[in-house]
Amino acid sequence: MAEVIIVRDQEEAGNAAASLFVEHLKHKPDAVLGLATGSTPLTTYAALASAVREHGLDVSKVRGFALDEYLGIPPEHPQSYRSVITSEVVEPLGLTPSLVMTPRGTGPNVEAAGDEYELAIRAAGGIDVQILGIGTNGHIAFNEPGSSLGSTTRLKALAAQTRADNARFFDSPAEVPSHCITQGLGTIQRARHLVLLAFGTAKAPAVAAALEGPVSASVPGSIVQLHPWATVILDEEAASQL
């Protein structure tokens, strides 16, 4: 069972998650970080950037793998996950850009991007610590309900709910891409430590289903119940249906 930590607010959650990341970085200067996009991890990234400065950690060898990328928007697009990871993680933490990967969402034979990414993760020795948010429909990364529990990185269609939730980042809902390349639930389960965060009442049903419901492809977040080392950090609203 996952360890559940309930905190007062997103600030406190960010500090708690960042301190878990710092432990990994202290023990392994070339640690492999699993990075999520969305609004949930932002306080963690900010706290981690402060902690890196405060502890004077050398992060030049730290490696990173984003969970997912939209299909068909170029890396330089402001809403590509490559751009988001660059501005929210790589630059504030001072990571080496070439050591941080995002799945390839454009270019020839994009169907092969998933397998390429799996090989890159394996070549890096696997992910040491993976930060995760959860969608209001229980998705993690872009593994929508119905995703196979053993799935690997692959091309997927986005659920209507997810496109609606993410429309806020685009000029209009029609601009939200319809497909993505996402790490699979099997890929995520191979990360050695999972840190899942959720905030707000809108996430409460998904959190309760993920932590206390049956482990099921209908609730991708329920894979945290299978993981030997999962830490879940929630504010009181997100924890309100536990």
39 in contact with ligand GLP (CB under 6 A) = yes
40 in contact with ligand GLP (CB under 6 A) = yes
CA 50 – CA 92 distance, rounded (Å): 9
98-136 burial by CB neighbour count: b if 16+ within 10 A, else e?
A: ebbbbbbbbeeebeebbebbbeebeebeebbbbbbbbbb
Restricted to residues 49-78, the positions that interact with ligand GLP (CB under 6 A) are: 67-68
CA 17 – CA 131 distance, rounded (Å): 8
CA 79 – CA 95 distance, rounded (Å): 20
In the bound complex, what is the minimum distance in angstroms from residue 200's beta carbon to ligand GLP? 8
133 in contact with ligand GLP (CB under 6 A) = yes
Q: Which stretch binds ligand GLP (CB under 6 A): 20-28, 31-39, 82-90, 185-193?
A: 31-39
- Binding test (CB under 6 A) with ligand GLP, winner from 34, 135, 184, 220: 135
CA 41 – CA 35 distance, rounded (Å): 9
In the bound complex, what is the minimum distance in angstroms from residue 37's beta carbon to ligand GLP? 5
166 in contact with ligand GLP (CB under 6 A) = yes
CA 23 – CA 28 distance, rounded (Å): 9
Q: Give contact residues for ligand GLP (rule: CB under 6 A).
A: 36-40, 67-68, 133-135, 141-142, 162, 166
